[in-house]
Amino acid sequence: MKHPRALSPLTLEAAKLLGANVRLGRRQRRWTVAELAERVGVSETTMLKVERGDPGVRLGIAFEAAALVGVPLFDEDRSRRALEAARVDDRLAVLPQRVRQPLEVDDDF
């Protein structure tokens, strides 16, 4: 049996907020849980977990549900998202490819 992973309060709050926004978007479109689940390609149970903000749901499923009901993920403008992605890539390019722990030097003579 897997031990449940302890998640930070911020993570749990963000998952619940995303789920609430998915629920709101679904209701505004007058879709049932079953209709949204079918569009996402998951079961109704999984969709209910998304709407409750269950952090155990795959990120891609939660993002797909959010996108389908119009919850903005990052910036709504595709060109702005591309600029942001390029900015992140530029920042990553100047950092080391791998992070290593510094070797501990025994300089105690």
Cβ-contact 71, 37 below 8 angstroms: no
Q: Which of 90, 85, 65 is nearest to 75 (CA)?
A: 85
Structure tokens at 106: 């025994």
> Could you tell me the CA-to-CA distances from 4 to 7, 19, 56, 90 in Å, in that order?
9, 20, 10, 36
Domains, the chain, ordered by start: 9-93 (1.10.260.40)
Which pLDDT tens digit goes with each residue over 59-92? 999 999 999 999 988 888 889 989 999 999 999 9
18-58 pLDDT, tens digit per residue, is 999 999 999 999 999 999 999 999 999 999 999 999 999 99
User: Any residues with CB less than 8 A from the CB of 33 and at least 6 apart, and which?
Assistant: 26, 44, 47, 48, 51
* Residue type (1 letter), 96: P
pLDDT of residue 78: 86
Q: Say if residues 75 and 84 touch (Cβ distance below 8 Å).
A: yes
pLDDT for position 109: 67
